[in-house]
Structure 1
Amino acid sequence: MSKLIIFVTAILLGAVCTGYDCRGQEFDLAADKIPDSLVKNAVSILRFEKKVFEVTDLDQAIYKIHNAVTILNERGSRYQLFQHYGDKFHKLGDVNIRVYDANGKFLIRFKNKDLSTYNIGEGLIDDGIRQYIMVPAAAYPITVETDYEIIYRGLLAYPSYYFANPNMAVINSSFTAIVPKVNNLRYKPQHTSILPEIKEDGKNISYTWSVKNQAAVAYEDGAIESAKMFPAILLAPNKFKLDNYEGDLSSWKNFGLWYSSVVDGTDVLKEPQINFYKNLVKHAATNREKIETVYKYMQSNFRYVSIQLGIGGNKPLPASFTDDKKYGDCKGLSNYMRAVLKTFGIKSHLAIINREANDDGEDPNFPIDRFNHVILFVPDGKDSIWLECTSKTLPFGMLDFSTENKNAVVVTENGGVLVATPRSRAADNVFKVRTAITLDGSGSGDCISNMQATGFYKEMLLENVAERKRDEQKAFLVGYFGYKQMDDLVITRIADPYIYNTNLALAIEKVSEFSAGSKMFLAPHIYKFVNFSMPAHEKRQRDFYFTVPFIKSDTTIFTLPEGFIIDQLPVGKTFATEVGSYSSTYSYNDSQKAIYSITSLELNKHKILPGEYDSTKAFFDKVLKEESQRIVIKKDPNQPPPPPRKSGF
């Protein structure tokens, strides 16, 4: 349901031009005219902005945007990108982009004909379009003035007023929404207290918000998605119309009733299809077994494609179409599964959700359409089942990190109901490695690693290792996990329906970190057990999100080269905090001439509140310090040097 929402990444924003001809040349756009107080922490400055969104009917509106933004340096280059995503309900009107140098001197102009245009989605059926241009910059600062309009012929979502963007200061900005009084609109301040100026004029009512001389808002790594991170005014209609479908967004219940009318009649299967599925599940003893049988069949026989057709990407194609083609998008595959379950008398519901990492879901008290995905919900008391019908790899009844920990609008016969999706659990995201390394006296070695993974780690390995070419596999293991550069790599997958289980055979020229005289220094693992660090902040302002909570464990066994002995083993440590725990042990098995390094790390929650940030960062900093310890071995002065050993397989 990848909705083609209108947005201009350039956020080449716009501003109040009251009393002016509101053309860029009416303003002095020289960069040295920017107040020094606004340059601090900024990579760009919004010089002026004026946005006017006028609704003329339930399904008709025009959105006019005029702005100028000065980009101070290359770190602000993202604001040189102008782009628009549209479909048959949203069309880009005239575009006029003017570029100025540091002194405010006009350089070049771009119009519609200069925009690159292409269809979006995977394209079997697709009515979406992307138009964009990356404004060039020979030197900084530059100023980009943008004047354009968007024409709406179908309204489900109103544009919101985003007046704060990462590291952008604002000199002057305004947003006006004009709507018929009979329908009005709803608005919600997000991280701001600014109030609108409200005026009535005949049949219309207008709301105007203004911002002046606002300092740049710093971006914080790991925070909630950008649309919810920064101050904004969210707007939403009460009544709307898309194609011939009129709806009411004043409550989640009414929104669900509208969506139910949109999908009505799309869940009908032909008699041969019904008979096929009844035969498929004839040996299933329970409804749960029937659902699982169908889900696994679909994983093996259907595939996902992006189809942006039908009521702005909201209406699924008929179940019979999906059956014939053996493909569909998220709404099509979920609707098809719903149709199959209906033939068994099993009730299920489409669930509309925002598939986005670092997102807590929607506000129960402010219905707004910010969704981009559809999954399936099968109610069964405490054992209710959530199905991600686009995935060929997720286990039955499991969601991934992008749809956990939030709420979805479950579409029932009585309307929409906000229902919480399952919470992420550390026990569902396990990464376990056991490695045996046979070292030689030069510091090279042959390694056999067994890697077992569930949840997030399983999906990541299936995508980046299982079906990749050898060079791509090496690049991922080195780039993501921090494995040492390898000369040879042989991967042997072990069949397992529940976990990703594989053996890696590696020949590594330089296992040791470095050598000094007769001593060799070894990291506790052949890869980076912890491959991230939390960013430093004077005072964290926003929640910090890990991708998932997790459990990681590693056992690394170093078989010493002939003629080598231990010089020093690190001291193992065990410590914990409210959000996690860490443990390490080091030991030597004399009969095997082997060192055992055993480590475990658990993070029991993925969302860290600002008040927990410092202690959590201190915990992971301590983990990194422990992981930086080195095992030291040395040549036994009483033993002659061994002959060199060939490496490889």
Structure 2
Amino acid sequence: MLKKLLVLIILAMLQNLGVQAQKDYKLSDIAPALLFKADAVVRDMETNVDMLAADQVVMHVTKAVTILNKNGEEMAQLVLPYNKSMAIKAVKGLVYNAEGMVIQKIALSSFEDISAASDFSLYEDDRLKHFAPVVTTYPYTVFYDYEYRIKQNLVIPDWYANPYVDVSVQRSVYNFSCKPGAKIRMKAYNYTGEGLETKSPEKTTFSWEVHDKPAVKREPYMVSSDNFLTYVKVAPEAFSFYNAKGTYSDWEGLGKWIYNDLLKSRQQLSPATVNEVKDLVNGIQDPKEKARKIYKFVQDKTRYISVQIGIGGYQPISAENVHYLGYGDCKGLVNYTQALLKVVGVPSMYCIVYAGNFKQNLDASFASMNQANHIILCLPFEKDTTWLECTSQVAPFGYLGDFTDDRTVLACTETGGKILHTPVLTSDMNTVKRFAQLQVDKSGNITGSVKSVFGGANYDRDEDILTKPYAEQLKSLKEIYDVDNINFEKLKIVQDKGTSSPSTTESFELSIPGYVVQSGNLAYLIPNIFNKLSNVPNLRERKQELYLNRGYTYEDETTFTLPENYIVEYQPQNSSVKTAFGSYESSVTMKDRTLIYKRKLIGNSGKFPAKSYAEFADFMNKGYSADLNKVIFNLASLKK
């Protein structure tokens, strides 16, 4: 009897513990400051990473997030990637309504299992578990509890107190544990104070904790969120990765390991391939011309296909396999090109970079394996340095474009890694120069021809159009030139790749029925047809720095030949604005029956204090207003 009573008591205690552990997450428990301008609130999140050994890491995460409106839905989802080195051991969760009542239980079976392979990926080891609650009444709260077993420690996932703007944090904690004496490099970003270190005979734990952090509201032209979100990077000096072992404490050591352990064994070529490459450059003495010849050979022979296998997706397939198969991913194509150049005595460097239109640098002061997503090739010639984008079959020799311009990269060499910087595409390089000869008839219809020359970051603007059939090319132009009733014909696109500043020339003939609006005795012509600015919102209180990602120069000259009965009633004044952010000029002049419209817009790149946003918005909106200016004509002679 006593034994039975004891069991009942224990069960009751366990049940009570369960009730106590299950929180209700009422909305009323959130401070008003955390609700202000927030789409979601991280109620309670705890991430525990325990590095038991180099090939045995346990990561356990619990998190509760309250979704306040539809814009916060992304925070409600859970995406769990997994592969051979990263296994999901457990996952569960709950969904609560606004009153804190459980309305759904989440189990592993609730998750959709999908391949992480992209449309252009041939082989990829990674898969994903994905869950998104279907709740249409706000607010609601989702709670997750999951655990990973990770068989490597080269890539320890970065910890973010909250990875999103427009989301506030009630409590978020990160604990990283390891054996005493383990050499670990750590860096906290945008963290107030110092992390806490706790020691015991069994392990050392490093902790960071964030409380009551309000949401950062998304603003136009803002810096990368990594400039203000709180996050921590961890990099053990001694690591194991897919049975490969090594050590590094800086970029020099990491670059050396990448070259010697991941690349060197993959650069072997067969004797037949070696002879083929030597014959290709036979008689060419200039190293740069050899490289140009080999780059064209690679472009003609290969195509880009993602191959995310081989030592966690970091090791390229062999150069000889790329040569035989005719395809590779960025790693494989760069490694292949480097191997070919080595055969003919042209040195080059395999460089890892974070690619994308929005510039993002590697942190030069903290080396870690997970800061990049792409590979490019650097050729350090005696008089200059040339960079190659090896995944493109059409890019000019030495052209990177806005995918990898102006950012720090890691060059991996046999003697060690080197931090380099890719070329800057300046505002006077990123050009669009457009010349239009147009005729206006008595009914307000426009016909004529247009020629545009694109340079710098704009060079490849028409790249996708060139891959389409002619009829589809004309449809694409209608999307680019968003003008009602516009029609195109005789389209011609010519790319000049043979210079140090490649350019694309686009020419066509057009017709725009009814462009000049006629009403009674008046006709209204907006002379800026092709390149109007958008309105920039005014903000009462700007919080973040103003960031202008890339500079540009746009010039337009449009000539309108007018009917004899068009008599100028109103002509807008010339506009001229110069600021630290750029300059804007536009003018309208009349000569006999010809109206000449000229416009030049220069945008500068850079970071500016938050308080300067109002001045920037004023500059852009003055240009926006000037772009909409009309010339008004009197058509009274038509009635006579």
Q: Tell whether the 8 Å contact from 1:544 to 1:610 is kept in structure 2 after alignment.
A: no
Q: For 1:183 and 1:241, locate their aligned partners in 2 and report how far apart those are by CA, in whole Å.
A: 14
Matched residue type, 2:221: G
Matched residue type, 1:128: D
Per-residue Cα deviation, 1:259-279 (whole angstroms, up to 9, x for no partner): 012212211221222222222
Q: Does 1:500 align with 2:504?
A: yes
SS in 1 for 2:65: strand
How far 1:184 moved relative to its partner?
3.7
Residue of structure 1 in register with 2:569 after alignment: 567
Q: Does 1:516 align with 2:516?
A: no
Identity %: 25
Q: 1:410 to 1:287 in 2, by over 3 A?
A: same
How far 1:471 moved relative to its partner?
7.6
Residue of structure 2 in register with 1:120 after alignment: 117
Residue of structure 2 in register with 1:314 after alignment: 314
Residue of structure 1 in register with 2:127 after alignment: 129
User: What count of residue pairs does the alignment treat as equivalent?
Assistant: 616
Q: For 2:449 and 2:199, locate their aligned partners in 1 and report how far apart those are by CA, in whole Å.
A: 75
How far 1:290 moved relative to its partner?
0.9
Q: Does 1:158 align with 2:164?
A: no
Which structure 1 residue ranges, 5 or more long, are not aligned?
1-19, 642-649
Per-residue Cα deviation, 1:338-359 (whole angstroms, up to 9, x for no partner): 0011011111110111113434
Residue of structure 2 in register with 1:39 after alignment: 35
**More displaced 10-residue stretch of structure 1: 465-474 or 495-504:** 465-474
How far 1:292 moved relative to its partner?
1.1
Matched residue type, 1:375: I
Per-residue Cα deviation, 1:370-422 (whole angstroms, up to 9, x for no partner): 11111111112550111111123332112122322211111122111111111
Per-residue Cα deviation, 1:152-196 (whole angstroms, up to 9, x for no partner): 112222222211331212222211111122324222221222322
Residues 38-77 of structure 1 mapped to structure 2, 5 A cutoff: 38-77=34-73
Residue of structure 2 in register with 1:209 after alignment: 208
Matched residue type, 2:107: K
**More displaced 10-residue stretch of structure 1: 380-389 or 483-492:** 483-492
Residues 189-588 of structure 1 mapped to structure 2, 5 A cutoff: 189-260=188-259, 261-369=261-369, 370-381=371-382, 383-463=384-464, 465-468=465-468, 473=473, 476-494=476-494, 496-497=496-497, 498-512=502-516, 514-531=517-534, 533=536, 536=539, 538-546=541-549, 548-588=550-590
How far 1:594 moved relative to its partner?
2.1
Per-residue Cα deviation, 1:539-566 (whole angstroms, up to 9, x for no partner): 34235133x2111111112222352222
Q: Tell whether the 8 Å contact from 2:47 to 2:59 is kept in structure 1 after alignment.
A: yes
Q: 1:446 to 1:610 in 2, by over 3 A?
A: same
Q: 1:537 to 1:318 in 2, by over 3 A?
A: farther
Q: Tell whether the 8 Å contact from 1:495 to 1:501 is kept in structure 2 after alignment.
A: yes
Q: Tell whether the 8 Å contact from 1:58 to 1:155 is kept in structure 2 after alignment.
A: yes
Q: For 1:489 and 1:85, locate their aligned partners in 2 and report how far apart those are by CA, in whole Å.
A: 48
Matched residue type, 1:581: S
Per-residue Cα deviation, 1:259-308 (whole angstroms, up to 9, x for no partner): 01221221122122222222222243411111111112222331111111
Q: Tell whether the 8 Å contact from 1:80 to 1:136 is kept in structure 2 after alignment.
A: no
Q: For 2:575 and 2:34, locate their aligned partners in 1 and report how far apart those are by CA, in whole Å.
A: 48
Q: Tell whether the 8 Å contact from 2:547 to 2:605 is kept in structure 1 after alignment.
A: no
Q: Tell whether the 8 Å contact from 1:98 to 1:110 is kept in structure 2 after alignment.
A: yes
SS in 1 for 2:95: strand
Q: For 1:42 and 1:529, locate their aligned partners in 2 and report how far apart those are by CA, in whole Å.
A: 33
Q: For 1:384 and 1:445, locate their aligned partners in 2 and report how far apart those are by CA, in whole Å.
A: 48
Q: For 2:132 and 2:544, locate their aligned partners in 1 and report how far apart those are by CA, in whole Å.
A: 32
How far 1:634 moved relative to its partner?
2.6
Q: Tell whether the 8 Å contact from 2:222 to 2:544 is kept in structure 1 after alignment.
A: no
Q: For 1:229 and 1:441, locate their aligned partners in 2 and report how far apart those are by CA, in whole Å.
A: 58
Q: Tell whether the 8 Å contact from 1:158 to 1:235 is kept in structure 2 after alignment.
A: yes
Residue of structure 1 in register with 2:172 after alignment: 173
RMSD, aligned α-carbons? 2.5
SS in 1 for 2:331: helix
How far 1:360 moved relative to its partner?
4.2
Q: 1:361 to 1:574 in 2, by over 3 A?
A: same
Q: Tell whether the 8 Å contact from 1:481 to 1:531 is kept in structure 2 after alignment.
A: no
Matched residue type, 1:392: Q
Q: 1:571 to 1:435 in 2, by over 3 A?
A: same
SS in 1 for 2:253: helix
Q: 1:381 to 1:286 in 2, by over 3 A?
A: closer
Per-residue Cα deviation, 1:190-214 (whole angstroms, up to 9, x for no partner): 1222322211122421012222222
Q: Tell whether the 8 Å contact from 2:184 to 2:234 is kept in structure 1 after alignment.
A: yes
Matched residue type, 2:60: K
Matched residue type, 1:106: V
Residue of structure 1 in register with 2:633 after alignment: 633
SS in 1 for 2:459: helix
Q: For 2:441 and 2:20, locate their aligned partners in 1 and report how far apart those are by CA, in whole Å.
A: 70
Q: For 2:548 and 2:51, locate their aligned partners in 1 and report how far apart those are by CA, in whole Å.
A: 38
Q: For 2:614 and 2:577, locate their aligned partners in 1 and report how far apart those are by CA, in whole Å.
A: 16
Q: 1:564 to 1:191 in 2, by over 3 A?
A: same
TM-score between the two structures when normalised by the length of structure 1 = 0.89
Residue of structure 1 in register with 2:10 after alignment: none
Q: Tell whether the 8 Å contact from 2:452 to 2:506 is kept in structure 1 after alignment.
A: yes
Q: Tell whether the 8 Å contact from 2:80 to 2:130 is kept in structure 1 after alignment.
A: yes
Per-residue Cα deviation, 1:414-445 (whole angstroms, up to 9, x for no partner): 11111111122123321122222222333332
How far 1:535 moved relative to its partner?
6.2
TM-score between the two structures when normalised by the length of structure 2 = 0.90
Q: For 1:456 and 1:606, locate their aligned partners in 2 and report how far apart those are by CA, in whole Å.
A: 16
SS in 2 for 1:273: helix
Q: 1:639 to 1:43 in 2, by over 3 A?
A: closer
Per-residue Cα deviation, 1:440-470 (whole angstroms, up to 9, x for no partner): 333332242212212322223212x323467
Matched residue type, 2:115: Y
How far 1:614 moved relative to its partner?
4.2
**More displaced 10-residue stretch of structure 1: 408-417 or 355-364:** 355-364
Q: Tell whether the 8 Å contact from 1:482 to 1:528 is kept in structure 2 after alignment.
A: no
Q: For 1:410 and 1:535, locate their aligned partners in 2 and report how far apart those are by CA, in whole Å.
A: 43
